[in-house]
Structure formats: structure tokens, C-alpha cells
Structure 1
Amino acid sequence: MTNIGVTGHQQIPAQALEYISSGIRTILRGQPRPLVGFSSLAVGADQLFAEEILAEGGELHAVIPSDDYESTFSGEELHKYRRLLAAALSVTRLPRTQPDEAAFDAAGLWIAENSELMVAVWDGAASRGRGGTADAVAHARQLGRQIRVVWPEGVSRD
């Protein structure tokens, strides 16, 4: 079994979407089976990864950062979150009362600690608050996890 976690940006430029989806697929296809993907199902990278792990026949394990996490979603992203959560074969709910930076940081740390490989949909920039992609990558590095960064050169999130 290969445990693969994801960390990544919520805001992904439209011109980067296909590159990132393709990159995630390539990484997943190169891993020994069965696959278990850990994701907090956040908008952006986490939802893209969750869709790809399911498409590859892997098991989705949702890591929910806090109570009331669903309140951070709206519209199509909320629908996608609910659909992916329903598709998850297992769920870990962290003991946090509110969806804040501390809860998001705890989810990123949990994912890094329980993964052999981290897929980082990351432009290489510092986090824009506690619990961002750079924080999860730094923790995964401290743990000696394999990290695969997926981000197209020359594309900025801004």
C-alpha cells in the first residue's frame, strides 16, 4: 500500500489546471498499488488530487480539519466537497472546534505524518498564513518524506 498525501494552493490559475492534473496523474500512475490518498478536500489542489486518486482506483481518506469545516465552502466547491467526502472510504476528523489557520496547520501536519509521499501543488513561495503549503512541505521534509512538487514554471498565483 502506498500512502500519498497532498498539500497545495487553493487558488490555482486556470492556465495551470491541466498541467497540475496531468502531473498528479503521472505521479499516481508511477506508485505501487494499492493507493491511499490523504486530502482535506479543500478547494483547489486538495480537490484536484482527490478526484485523481479516485480516478486511478485509489482509496480516498479525508482529513477534516475541524468542526464546521463545511462552512468554508460555497457554491460549486461545497457541492464538490460533499461529493468527495461521500466518496471517501475513511475519514479522520481532527479535534478542532473552528476552521482556522491552526486547524488547517494541524491537518497538513497529520497528512505529512501519515504519508510516505507528499504531492505538493506549490509555486515554491512562503505560506500566506499558518498552515499553508510551505508549512506542510517543511514538515514533510523534516520527517524525511518524499516530496513531488507539481507547478508549471513561470505561472504565478497572483
Structure 2
Amino acid sequence: MGITGHRGLSAQVERAVRDAFDDELRKYDPAELLGVSCIADGPDAWFAEAVLDSGGRIEVVVPAEQYRDGLPDSHHPTYDELLAQAAEVHHTGMRASTAQAHMAGSEILVGLVDRLVAVWDGKEARGYGGTADVVAYARRTGVPVDVLWPDGATRD
């Protein structure tokens, strides 16, 4: 199972999303649970943490060599911890952390999973490689997408 989702969500939305992840992951045998994530701040990391907390394993996709540098400094310890726990790490081979690299990473992620969970408000992407683009790519390639968007949630 893979994850894509909006960053910059409020603490209230975070709680609802984390609860939804926990509810969903309880349906799976931990021995067979594998989550794939780019582990950015927000839903990517929350999902990876939930998978590990459920007894599952994670694989990480690193979109670019400079990807971590583009994430908030406050997220670096979480990113490093999750990366260290990955059963496998996949790379795009790109250096710069650009929208193209992010989309390439998402395409690798979608190619690795049987199902994609999208923390998505249903709106168009604000830039190439955004959540809407990842959802569209998954749907084009036949990967089922489960949209998770809490009632009343908004994003910045």
C-alpha cells in the first residue's frame, strides 16, 4: 500500500488522518503489511509511522539526492529515523529535488503498490507532481486509489 497526500495540514486534520490510518491498518495482518512512502512531512510520514506501529514494514522512495534538504529542518529527525527503518530504499537517480523528481518518485511508488491511499481534497494539483497528479497517474495505471479526506478538513 502506498501513500500520497497534501503537506501543511492543520493539527486537527493530522489527528483525523492519523486515526483513519490506524483504523485502516487494523484490517491487515502485520506480517503482510508493507507501506511505501516518500516520507515527506505530513501524511507520507504519518502513514509510514502508522505502518511501523502496526507491526508492518516500510519501503521508502527517495525522489532525489537533495530531497531531504528541501524538507523542513524540523522534519529531518523523523525523516532520518524512518529512512533507517526502511526494509528497502528506492531512488529515481535524480540529484535536484524538483517537481519532476517528485513525480518520478511518485511514479516509482505507484509501480510498487497494489493500492494507493491519497490524503487529498479532490482539487487540482497546485504544481506538477502534486497529490492530484499522483492520483491521476495511479488511476491511469490501474492502481486502486482510496481517497481519505476528513469531513470539514481544509489545507493551507
TM range (shorter): over 0.9
| Cα shift at 1:74 | 3.4
Q: Give CA deviations for 1:33-55 in whole Å, capped at 9, x if unaligned.
A: 51111100111110001100100
Q: Which residue of 2 aligns with 1:62?
A: 60
Contact 1:24 1:119 in 2 (8 A): no
Q: Distance in 1 between matches of 2:129 and 2:63?
A: 11
Q: Which residue of 1 aligns with 2:8?
A: 11
Range with greater deviation from structure 2 (23-32 or 57-66): 23-32
TM-score, normalised by the number of residues in structure 1 = 0.93
Q: Distance in 2 between matches of 1:22 and 1:101?
A: 30
Q: Distance in 2 between matches of 1:79 and 1:122?
A: 25
Structure 1 spans left out of the alignment, 5+ residues = none
Q: Which residue of 2 aligns with 1:114?
A: 112
Contact 2:39 2:79 in 1 (8 A): yes
In the alignment, residue 22 of structure 1 is paired with which amino acid? D
* Equivalent residue in structure 1 for 2:19, among 5, 18, 22: 22
Alignment of 1:95-106 (within 5 A): 95-106=93-104
| Cα shift at 1:76 | 2.3
Percent of aligned positions that are identical:
35
Q: Distance in 2 between matches of 1:153 and 1:124?
A: 12
State the SS of the aligned residue for 2:149. Answer: coil
1:83 aligns with 2:81: yes
> Runs of 4+ in structure 1 displaced over 4 angstroms?
none
| Cα shift at 1:119 | 0.8
Structure 2 spans left out of the alignment, 5+ residues = none
Q: Which residue of 1 aligns with 2:154?
A: 156
Q: Give CA deviations for 1:30-84 in whole Å, capped at 9, x if unaligned.
A: 2355111110011111000110010011111010001121211233201111111
State the SS of the aligned residue for 2:113. Answer: coil
| Cα shift at 1:106 | 0.7
RMSD across aligned positions (CA)? 1.2
Aligned length: 155
Contact 2:107 2:137 in 1 (8 A): yes
Q: Distance in 1 between matches of 2:28 and 2:111?
A: 19
| Cα shift at 1:121 | 0.8
TM-score, normalised by the number of residues in structure 2 = 0.94
